[in-house]
Structure 1
């Protein structure tokens, strides 16, 4: 429970910095599948984050500065938050424009496994990050894509 709260707090304080996005990320949004259960991504490696999610993100009111508390950098197999980072172990698609990541986290002298859900806006310029399971509704964090 402490780790869930810690991760949610980190997202709330540090969730908006990704690696520079490539142009056309919005065009790489997964195609919708009606009434399907979550499945692993069809990328080369089962733990590769889809291109539409890659880059630097910051809190909705953040300035995308490297020292922003809300900054999160999302790479194909790695995430970096304020004072913690995670190796992506599994990527599961959970509908069009939504993924669930299982990550091996490390930060502040601790290690833990964390699941997070990331949902893109239709234009892929905004995203919502929330812990899984979402038993704490107030823990969702609104993020915006930072310029590359």
Structure 2
């Protein structure tokens, strides 16, 4: 491929992959940029994490759990807690390693802040054949038996949702 066509091909590939948020955008090669200087490459810190495969969500780092105070069943309405399994779309169950929703599961991808009653993290979701990541804040209000969950991003449900602990 001629050197002039290569940058145009990379731009076209990047534009096409922008439509698919799961597709990686290729980094320009040294040939395309005309540079072979290693110092212009991005610097990565820490060990690289494995890329998720289309059939499995990203595996959270070892020791990354939801705080014990968050674990359990939580409903947006009182009826969520007494409904038969599969009859409610607003019940969630938090285990040590994941949150189970009606048709999706979320695991912790990266932790930004954590305490016994609060977690700010990027969650890796999988459900209905799709995968996505979302920044989320979960906070337990023990005195009220409540869990407040708020997700951030252009495609997130706006505002915080308050769940009551199921008995």
**Whole-Å Cα distance in 2 between the matches of residues 48 and 60 of structure 1?**
26
Give the TM-score of the pair, scaled to structure 2. Answer: 0.52
More strand by share: 1
Q: Distance in 2 between matches of 1:102 and 1:74?
A: 15
Residue 60 (structure 1) shift = 3.6
Between 78-87 and 131-140, the greater mean CA deviation after superposition: 131-140
Partner residue, 1:103: 123
Which one has the largest radius of gyration?
A: 2
TM-score norm. by structure 1 comes to: 0.58
The structural deviation recorded for 1:71 is: 0.6
Tell me how large the CA RMSD over aligned residues is.
Answer: 2.8
**Counterparts of 2:117 and 2:157 in 1: how far apart (Å)?**
20
Deviation at 1:89, TM superposition (A): 2.4
**SS of 1:139's equivalent?**
coil
Question: Which is bigger in relative contact order (C-alpha 8 A, separation at least 6)?
Answer: 1
What are the residue-to-residue correspondences of 1:64-75 with 2, within 5 Å?
Answer: 64=81, 65=83, 66=85, 67-75=87-95
Q: How does 1:85-104 map to 2 (within 5 A)?
A: 85-93=105-113, 97-104=117-124
Partner of 1:53: 70
Q: Does the Cα contact within 8 Å between 1:126 and 1:142 map onto a contact in 2?
A: yes
Deviates more, 1:138-147 or 1:92-101: 92-101
Task: Answer yes or no: is 1:78 the counterpart of 2:93.
Answer: no
**Equivalent pair of 1:58/1:68 in contact (CA under 8 Å):** no
Q: Where in structure 1 are there 5+ consecutive unaligned residues?
A: 1-43
What corresponds to 1:141 in structure 2?
Answer: 161
